């Protein structure tokens, strides 16, 4: 019995100590942040969450992350729960599952008077009045850089005597907002060159859909000849490369592949099967978000309303030397910046 | 004599084969099927490059992964245990198991056996619970969360990759007599599964328990062991698909089978749709794995045709959905007609 009493005493003391320490830690936190975003189970978002959490800790912010399973209704419910709890943070980070459907929740967050930073999806006319800034990728720059890379590859092919420059595009679903931005920027980048898009398929996201879409598109345009493939992201492109190889094409020789986002397979670039990609780092995106929160809390405004993460081109020649300095001051290599099999 | 004359005249005008068809299936069914066949034939003839050997291979290859999973699930459905709503999550767990073993350098054979072992445990666990009287829908919903959670935790939500050459390329991207090995595997599994169902004691037990559980029990065939066996078969098929896909892309992530967008949609739903579109009875006892295999090819064909006609993902999802609904209605009418005749 006495042992039991001692154990209870020790446990109570431990709880009290932990509680006091936690309170002290909270008291020391410069500010509190609540982030609404997708699930950590998705590779890209997983790294984004890592970025915001680590940087927030570094800057002394207290952060709570609410993940939804790509479900706006679930995210709306989380917003209501946070608002109902009554303990408002100093800043909200808002990565809507669906920017249009989530407008009501964004408005509700704005009404509390707590500033809101939007992430990943560019502000539109409807929601820009509710946010103090944006941090995230530049779909257009990313696609444009991919187009420039393909131009470079096409020029090299032409110099070597190549005469055919047909391109197939493995796209995001055409209903997805990033599709229009990406395909238009890509088309602008290749305009005036010998490159010509002969097919565009939108099977869906990920390797499996990339494979399926490419396989069907190959059957459709094989007769015209396929010389280049543009993957709207590397995961889709990885599946597409599998389909092209299965159809008998020799990647890097018969067909030149260019992707973006660096969420595919590093080995494909090392082997020369993929000409290159444009970097889009979720870790940077998370770090940038916290940097902007800090800037806003200190100055009451942002120097720039729109803040893009960098999208440098990465090829076989630069893959080992590409590095970016994070907003936490550390230097990150390609394996830490990318989100696929890197 | 005069009263019978018009009937004789109508009979004389209707070909015998059509009269027999109408007699067996009713005018409604025959008309619906005829309309469908005409639409389908029109689509096939007018789709550019549809009727080519290359495209035929593309269709079968496209159907292979879903088809293999559907074959496994058919055993569960035929035995009267409805569906496993955990097909996708079992594949997620299996792909993480396989890639983890491969990346640790265990080689293809050991990684394969390890993964199949995981799948057997996953299937047996669900089978035991269903066999003990648990509702298959509820049990497998719970199992889905459990498997996905374990896979996410195990992989830390990261992409697990293994460098080529890794000894699994033959399955992922190899070919035999011009057919991708995954296609060959699909054909072999379809044949073996059908033979097992038709010509083995186990196969007959599946139909017996599925069509009349009480009769099965009276003859000493309990659903307990049947549920375990069929769930193990379904899980093993999921695991095989996961292994084949991982071998193809040399990596794994828990979300590889969870695409939120695109014409594939949710893998589990697509697999269930494949089983249903083929006319297998949801209540068990009627159907076959051959039907499910053809169902997978049918869905793949419709989708392929739409791509060749230049449709993007939205109309393709709609078309595939309509075809599934149409097939279910026709098969329901046919079965109702059969019961009326009985």
Q: Please state the domain extents for chain A.
A: 31-137+281-311, 139-278
Contact B159 A246 (CB under 8 A): no
Say yes or no: A339 contacts chain B, CB-CB below 8 A: yes
Provide the 3-class DSSP secondary structure of residue A261. Answer: strand
- State the pTM of this model: 0.83
A173 vs B55, B58, B261: nearest CB: B261
- List residues in chain B touching A: CB distance below 8 A: 48-49, 52, 54-55, 58, 61-62, 65, 148, 152, 157-161, 163-164, 172-173, 175, 180, 245, 248-251, 253-257, 259-264, 303-304, 307-308, 312-314
Six token digits for residue B319? 């078309």
Superfamily of domain A31-137+281-311: Response regulator (3.40.50.2300)
pLDDT in tens, B201-228: 999 999 999 999 888 888 888 889 999 9
Provide mean pLDDT across the span A10-37.
63
> What chain A residue is nearest to B162 in terms of C-alpha separation?
A341
Domains A31-137+281-311 and A139-278 share a fold: yes
- Contact list, A261 vs chain B (CB under 8 Å): none
- Please judge whether B173 and A340 are an interchain contact, meaning their C-beta atoms are less than 8 angstroms apart: no
Summary mean pLDDT of chain B: 89
In chain A, the residue whose alpha carbon lies closest to the alpha carbon of B103 is: A341
Share of chain B above pLDDT 90, in %: 63
Shortest CA gap B290–chain A (Å): 23
**Is the Cβ pair B313, A208 closer than 8 Å?**
no
Of B249, B256, B260, the CB nearest to A265: B249
Say yes or no: A202 contacts chain B, CB-CB below 8 A.
Answer: yes
Q: How close A91 gets to chain B, by Cα (Å)? A: 27
Q: What secondary structure, in 3-state letters, does chain B show?
A: CCCCHHHHHHHHHCCHHHHHHHHHHHHHHHHHHHHHHHHHHHHHHHCCCCCCHHHHHHHHHHHHHHHHHHHHHHHHHHCCCCCCCCHHHHHHHHHHHHHHHHHCCCHHHHHHHHHHHHHHHHHHHHHHHHHCCCCHHHHHHHHHHHHHHHHHHHHCCCCEECCCCCCCHHHHCCEECCEEHHHHHHHHHHHHHHHHHHHCHHHHHHHHHHHCHHHHHHCCCCHHHHHHHHHHHHHHHHHHHHHHHHHHHCEECCCCCCCCCCCCCCHHHHHHHHHHHCCCCCCCCCCCHHHHHHHHHHHHHHHHHHHHCCCCHHHHHHHHHHHHHHHHHHHHHHHHHHHHHC
DSSP A272: T
A46 with B158: Cβ contact below 8 A = yes
Q: How far apart are CA A32 and CA B292, in angstroms?
A: 54
Domain B54-341 has CATH 1.10.3470: yes
A219 vs B58, B256, B261: nearest CB = B58
Which residue in A40, A203, A213 is closest to B157 by CB distance? A40
The mean of the pLDDT values for chain A is 90
Query: What's the confidence (pLDDT) of residue A326?
Result: 92
Please list every residue in chain A whose beta carbon sits closer than 8 Å to the beta carbon of residue B165: none
The least confident of A122-126, A283-287, A303-307, B167-171 is A122-126
Nearest beta carbon to residue B262 from set A173, A340, A341: A173
Helix or strand run (H / E) with residue A166: strand A166-170
Q: Which of B48, B61, B158 shows the shortest C-beta gap to A43?
A: B158
- Enter the tokens of residue B322: 């309509």
Q: pLDDT at position A76, please?
A: 96
Portion 27-46 of A in contact with B at CB < 8 A: 40-43, 46
A246 with B61: Cβ contact below 8 A: yes
Q: Which of B67, B92, B255 to mutate to test the interface with A (most CBs of A within 10 A)?
A: B255
- SS3 category, A35: strand
Residue contact A216–B159, C-beta within 8 A: no
Chain A contact set for B245 (CB, 8 A) = 207-208
The pLDDT value recorded for residue A22 is 47
Q: Please determine, for residue A12, whether its predicted confidence score (pLDDT) is greater than 80.
A: no
Average pLDDT over residues A293-311: 95
Determine which helix (DSSP H) or strand (DSSP E) holds A119, and give its type and residue range.
Answer: strand A116-119
Kindly report, residue by residue over B260-287, the tens digit of the pLDDT. 544 556 789 889 999 998 889 989 999 9
Looking at the predicted complex, does its ipTM rise above 0.90?
no
What percentage of chain A has pLDDT greater than the value 90? 76
The whole-number average pLDDT for the span A59-65 is 96
Determine contact: A209 vs chain B, CB below 8 A.
Answer: yes
Kindly report, residue by residue over B288-316, the tens digit of the pLDDT. Answer: 999 999 999 999 999 899 999 989 888 88
User: What's the rounded mean pLDDT across residues B178-184?
Assistant: 94
Contacts of B262 in chain A (CB under 8 A): 173, 202-205, 209, 213
Q: Is the pLDDT of residue A65 over 70?
A: yes
Contacts of A246 in chain B (CB under 8 A): 61, 173, 175, 180
Does residue A325 belong to the interface with chain B, where contact is any CB pair within 8 Å? Answer: no
Is A340 an interface residue toward B (CB < 8 Å)? yes
- Say if the Cβ atoms of A202 and B262 lie within 8 Å: yes
A234-292 pLDDT tens trace: 999 999 999 999 999 999 999 999 999 999 999 999 999 999 999 999 999 999 999 99
Assigned fold of A139-278: Rossmann fold (3.40.50)
Q: Say if the Cβ atoms of A238 and B49 lie within 8 Å.
A: no
- A103 SS3 class: helix
Per-residue pLDDT at A133 exceeds 90: yes
Interface of A with B in 153-172 (CB under 8 A): 172
How would residue B162 be classed by pLDDT, with cut points 50, 70 and 90? very high
- CB contact under 8 Å between B255 and A340, yes or no, is no
How far apart (Å, rounded) are the C-alpha atoms in residues A245 and A258? 15
pLDDT value, residue A9: 57
Q: Which two tokens stand for residue A117?
A: 């930073």
B180 neighbourhood in chain A, CB within 8 Å: 246
Question: Residue A339's closest chain B neighbor by CA?
Answer: B159
CB-based contact, A224 to chain B, within 8 Å: no
Q: Give the nearest chain B residue to A223 (CA atoms).
A: B49
Mean pLDDT of B101-122: 97
Q: Residue A215: list chain B partners with CB under 8 A.
A: 58, 61-62
């Amino acid at each position: 019995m006495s042992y039991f009493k001692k154990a209870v005493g020790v446990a109570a003391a431990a709880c009290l100590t932990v509680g006091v320490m936690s309170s002290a830690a909270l008291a020391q936190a410069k500010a509190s942040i609540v982030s609404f975003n997708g699930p950590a189970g998705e590779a890209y978002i997983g790294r984004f969450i890592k970025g915001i959490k680590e940087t927030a800790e570094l800057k002394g912010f207290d952060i709570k992350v609410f993940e939804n399973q790509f479900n706006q209704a679930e995210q709306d419910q989380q917003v209501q729960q946070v608002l109902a709890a009554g303990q408002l943070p100093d800043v909200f980070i808002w990565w809507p599952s669906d920017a249009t459907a989530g407008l009501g929740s964004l408005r509700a967050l704005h009404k509390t008077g707590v500033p809101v930073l939007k992430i990943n999806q560019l502000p539109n006319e409807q929601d820009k009045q509710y946010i103090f800034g944006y941090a995230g990728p530049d779909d257009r720059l990313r696609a444009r850089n991919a187009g420039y890379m393909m131009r470079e590859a096409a020029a090299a092919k032409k110099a070597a005597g190549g005469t055919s420059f047909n391109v197939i595009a493995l796209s995001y679903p055409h209903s997805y907002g990033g599709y229009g931005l990406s395909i238009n920027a890509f088309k602008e980048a290749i305009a005036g060159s010998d490159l010509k898009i002969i097919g565009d398929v939108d099977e869906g996201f990920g390797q499996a859909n990339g494979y399926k879409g490419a396989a069907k598109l190959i059957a459709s345009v094989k007769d015209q000849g396929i010389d280049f493939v543009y993957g709207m992201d590397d995961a889709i492109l990885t599946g597409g490369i599998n389909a092209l190889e299965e159809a008998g094409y020799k990647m890097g020789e018969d067909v030149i592949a260019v992707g973006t986002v660096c969420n595919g397979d590093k080995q494909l670039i090392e082997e020369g099967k993929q000409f290159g990609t444009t970097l889009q780092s979720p870790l940077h995106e998370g770090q940038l978000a916290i940097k902007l929160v800090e800037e806003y809390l200190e100055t009451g405004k942002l120097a720039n309303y729109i803040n893009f993460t960098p999208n440098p081109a990465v090829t076989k020649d630069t893959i080992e030397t590409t590095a970016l300095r994070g907003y936490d001051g550390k230097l990150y290599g390609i394996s830490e910046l990318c989100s696929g099999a890197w | 004599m005069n009263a019978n004359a018009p009937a004789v005249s109508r009979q004389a005008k209707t070909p015998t084969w059509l009269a027999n068809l109408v007699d067996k299936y009713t005018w409604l069914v025959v008309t619906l099927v005829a309309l469908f066949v005409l639409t389908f034939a029109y689509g096939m003839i007018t789709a550019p490059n549809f009727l080519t050997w290359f495209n035929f291979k593309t269709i079968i290859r496209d159907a292979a992964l879903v088809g293999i999973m559907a074959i496994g699930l058919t055993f569960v459905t035929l035995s009267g245990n409805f569906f496993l709503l955990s097909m996708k999550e079992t594949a997620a767990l299996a792909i993480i198991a396989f890639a983890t073993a491969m990346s640790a350098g265990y080689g293809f054979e050991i990684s394969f056996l390890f993964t199949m072992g995981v799948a057997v445990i996953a299937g047996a666990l669900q089978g035991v619970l269903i066999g003990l009287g648990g509702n298959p829908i509820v049990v497998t919903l719970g199992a889905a969360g459990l498997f996905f959670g374990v896979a996410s935790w195990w992989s830390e939500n990261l992409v697990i990759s293994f460098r080529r050459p890794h000894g699994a390329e033959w399955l992922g991207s190899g070919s035999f007599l011009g057919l991708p090995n995954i296609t060959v595997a699909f054909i072999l599994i379809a044949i073996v599964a059908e033979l097992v169902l038709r010509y083995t004691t186990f196969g007959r037990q599946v139909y017996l328990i599925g069509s009349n559980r009480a009769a099965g029990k009276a003859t000493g065939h309990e659903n307990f062991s049947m549920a375990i066996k069929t769930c193990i078969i379904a899980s093993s098929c999921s695991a095989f698909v996961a292994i084949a896909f991982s071998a193809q892309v040399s990596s794994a992530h828990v979300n590889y089978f969870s695409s939120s967008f695109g014409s594939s949609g949710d893998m589990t739903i697509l697999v269930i749709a494949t089983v249903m579109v083929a006319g297998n009875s949801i209540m068990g006892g009627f159907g076959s794995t051959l039907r499910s295999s053809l169902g997978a090819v049918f869905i793949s064909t419709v989708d392929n045709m739409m791509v060749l006609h230049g449709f993007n993902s939205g109309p393709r999802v709609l078309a595939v959905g309509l075809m599934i609904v149409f097939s279910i209605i026709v098969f329901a009418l046919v079965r109702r007609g059969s019961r009326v005749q009985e």
